[in-house]
Amino acid sequence: MRTHYEFTLPIPASVVWRLLADADRALGLVPGAEITGIGARSCSGSLKLRVRSTSATYRGTAQLITKDESTGVLAAQLEGSQTRGAGALKADVEITVGSADGSGSVVAITTEFELTGPVTEAGGAAVEGAVDRLLAKFAGNVQSVAADGAAEGLEQPEPAPLPSVPDAEPTPGPASAPSTPPDDEVVAAVRMQPVGDTDTQPAFATASGSTRRAALPTIARALAAAAAVVGLLAAVRRLRRR
């Protein structure tokens, strides 16, 4: 049997090609497919196909035949056997990616396949319809993922530059400088304070200190009087000896 399915995407062909050329991602977009191993030009896995009320799972390998970016052609051969039953699957798949409408792309998928097993009992038309539905879902998955890839490739506006951080803290200017006078001005201010009279109590004197300062003149007068008495007694003694 042979089927042909074609669809267009509003996405550049280069973006679609990069997606389909990545076997790991592309095969993951096939409905019912499960990839169990992948190499440089082949992969292994399974594919579940449903035809009306009957379904079958085929396990096998896919071999890459052609991968030509200049022509946009991908070709692969698929072969597998039914996991439960005697059915088998063989298919040649060719995918072409081309430009459309300048900025869009057109993808064409052509398959030549042979199926055996219970799914073929519904007839060839039913099998072809099931394959077409599978390809339509695959096309929708490709469009969704390719659109996300195209959006990621858009140029993003450059962020505004961040303000530069100074290497050291700025030196405060005259306006913010502390108003503490230099040391020589402080010394000069101290030296220019008036001394005042000797009997004036200093600012740091205590109450007892002021009392002692006030008692000094009285003590001096008492000592002078005592000295005068002593001198008088000495004079009287000298007169008596004569």
Residue 42 near residue 24 (C-beta atoms within 8 A): no
Residue 142 near residue 20 (C-beta atoms within 8 A): yes
pLDDT of 40 = 87
Residue 55 near residue 49 (C-beta atoms within 8 A): yes
Distance CA 144, CA 160 (A): 32
Domain tally, the chain: 1
- Single out the residue of 62, 61, 52, 67 nearest to residue 22, CA to CA: 67
Neighbours of 240 (CB within 10 A): 6
pLDDT of 44 = 95
227 domain-assigned: no
Domain with 83 in it: 2-153
133 domain-assigned: yes
130 domain-assigned: yes
pLDDT per residue, tens digit, the chain (242 aa), is 999 999 999 999 999 999 999 988 898 999 999 999 998 899 999 999 999 999 999 999 999 999 999 999 999 999 999 999 889 999 999 999 999 977 899 999 999 999 998 999 999 999 999 999 999 999 999 988 988 866 564 333 343 343 333 444 444 444 444 444 444 443 333 333 344 444 444 333 334 444 344 444 555 565 656 666 556 666 656 665 65
Residue 87 near residue 81 (C-beta atoms within 8 A): yes
| Helix or strand run (H / E) with residue 20 | helix 13-21
171 domain-assigned: no
224 domain-assigned: no
Tokens of 130: 């099931």
pLDDT of 101 = 79
CA 21-27-29 angle, to 5 degrees, is: 105
Q: What CATH code is carried by the domain that includes residue 114? A: 3.30.530.20
120 domain-assigned: yes
39 domain-assigned: yes
CA 58-17-44 angle, to 5 degrees, is: 25
Place of tokens 């799972």: 57
142 domain-assigned: yes
